Amino acid sequence: MKMDLKFNEKTIDKAQADIQAKLKEIVKSPALLSEVADVAIKDIQFQARRGVTADGNKFKALSSRWIKERQKIAQASATHETFKANRSNITITGQLLDAMGKMLSKSGIYILFKGMHQPYQAKRVRRDGVRTVGKRISNDKLSGYVNELRPFFKIRESLLPRLKNIVIRYIRRKL
């Protein structure tokens, strides 16, 4: 999954003609877009690890079978500090959310998932040793599956004042 982060040109078209060109120039600034992307990435990670969707609802609970499996994974793999076997927060080792990054494009900036997600190790029940859970998969592909069940890849509406303030601060620094 990727998110194309660009300022809404239709909104800018509503500005008075004499400031439109300046606004268009400002919102295409790679430095500004990069700052917006950094805040958006950090916030998506934060909300997901708190176990809430961008709309502020709790993520769907984990199945009891998966909770048991997560307990065994925790016995054999290094887990993220927000991990709890029964906590639905898109986090076991933290690989997926940590794989979020940004990439500058001609039209704006993308938020995307980089790299490959490694399988987990889980403790065997009846004998010693560990087994592998899952398979190697791109974080991009995995994010799509995860987002279908627990929608996390979205900027929350309540981030608007902060994003506007980033633009305002940028205008003050640059003009």
Partner 1 sequence: MSEPGIKLSKSKVTQTIDLNKIVGSDISNDELLVSRIGQAIIDYIDNRVEDGKGLGEVKLKSPYSDSYSESLDFKAAGKSKNQVNMRLSGDMMGSIDILSTDGSKVVIGIDQPDQAIKAYGHQTGFEGHPFLKGPKRPFFGVTPEEIKKKILPEFKEEIKAKRVTSAEEQTRLINFIRGIKTLGDLLE
| Smallest separation, CB 130 to partner 1 (Å) | 26
* Residues 6+ away with beta carbon under 8 Å from 98: 45
> How many C-beta atoms lie closer than 10 Å to residue 39's C-beta?
16
Tokens for 10, please give them: 């239709």
Residues 85-124: x where in contact with partner 1 by CB under 8 A, - otherwise, as a string: --x-x-----------------------------------
| Smallest separation, CB 61 to partner 1 (Å) | 15
Q: Rule CB under 8 A: say whether 171 interacts with partner 1.
A: yes
> How many C-beta atoms lie closer than 10 Å to residue 128's C-beta?
6
**Binding region for partner 1 (CB under 8 A) out of 41-49, 60-68, 117-125, 142-150:** 41-49
**Residue among 1, 2, 9, 76 that touches partner 1 (CB under 8 A):** 9
Cβ atoms 117, 96 nearer than 8 A: yes
DSSP label of 110:
E
Distance separating alpha carbons of residues 174 and 125, to the nearest angstrom: 61
Judged by the rule CB under 8 A, the positions of this chain that interact with partner 1 are: 4-9, 11, 15-16, 19, 22-23, 26, 36, 39, 42-43, 45-46, 49-51, 81-82, 87, 89, 155, 157, 159-169, 171-173, 175
